[in-house]
Amino acid sequence: MRGAFAGAMLGAAVSGLGIAVQHAEANAYPTDVVADYVIGCMAANGETQETLRRCSCSIDAVASILPYEAYERADTIIRMAGVSGGNTEMFRQMKMLKDAVDRLRLAQIEADFRCF
């Protein structure tokens, strides 16, 4: 009886590990990008444990909607559009670049519905 219980516990632990590994593989965003998103989200929404949970949920939701390459592209466009000067005007005006940012914004709106 003891052996069956130990075997069941080991099986549960291994299957739980499989879920954690599966989640880690599903979240293809680099850790520093995830941390940056969560820190920015918390700065905008309050620095509480509840906000930490919601902001973590938010980046996970965004990651489930938008591949990292698309997120990175949109984030770069947003950062470049915020830089003043004539050389960065294209980041504020090109339709193709606006569309990339719009896809990120829509993913963030969906993440807000799921997490906030």
Pick the more confident residue, 24 or 80: 80
Residue 3 has pLDDT above 80, yes or no: no
pLDDT, one tens digit per residue, over 69-113 is: 999 999 999 999 999 888 888 888 899 999 999 999 999 999 999
Residue 51 has a pLDDT of 98
Residue 21 has a pLDDT of 43
| Cβ-based neighbours of 51, under 8 Å, separated by 6 or more | 41, 42, 45
- Nearest of 52, 28, 30 to residue 40 by alpha carbon: 52
Residue 11 has a pLDDT of 52
Backbone angles phi, psi at 82, to 5 degrees: -80, -10
Residue 27 has a pLDDT of 60
| Cβ-based neighbours of 34, under 8 Å, separated by 6 or more | 27, 59, 63
CB neighbour class for 87 (10 Å; exposed up to 12, middle 13-18, buried from 19): exposed
pLDDT, one tens digit per residue, over 35-64 is: 999 999 999 999 999 999 999 999 999 999
